[in-house]
Amino acid sequence: MNVPEAKYFPEYFHQKLGKILWESCGMSRERVRLEQAINEIETLQLKFWKTIKVTGIIIKI
């Protein structure tokens, strides 16, 4: 399921998303920072679909 520009494993995106949520949606929240987080997540989502790298084998049943 690799894309043409496969660079990053799922763990990379998990860590990036976790950092965005921790910094923006933690105990202290501000409207501006939440809106910025939405933009960062949208950018990360686009990067995910362009550069995700999944290893393993395909088993046909």
Distance of CA 24 to the CA centre of its chain: 15
pTM of this prediction exceeds 0.85: no
Which residue ranges make up each domain of the chain?
10-51
- The pLDDT of residue 2: 59
From first to last of the 61 residues of the chain, give the pLDDT tens digit. Answer: 557 788 999 999 999 999 999 999 988 889 999 999 999 999 999 999 999 988 877 788 8
Q: In three state form, how does the secondary structure of the chain look?
A: CCCCCCCECHHHHHHHHHHHHHHHCCCCCCHHHHHHHHHHHHHHHHHHHHHECCCCCCCCC
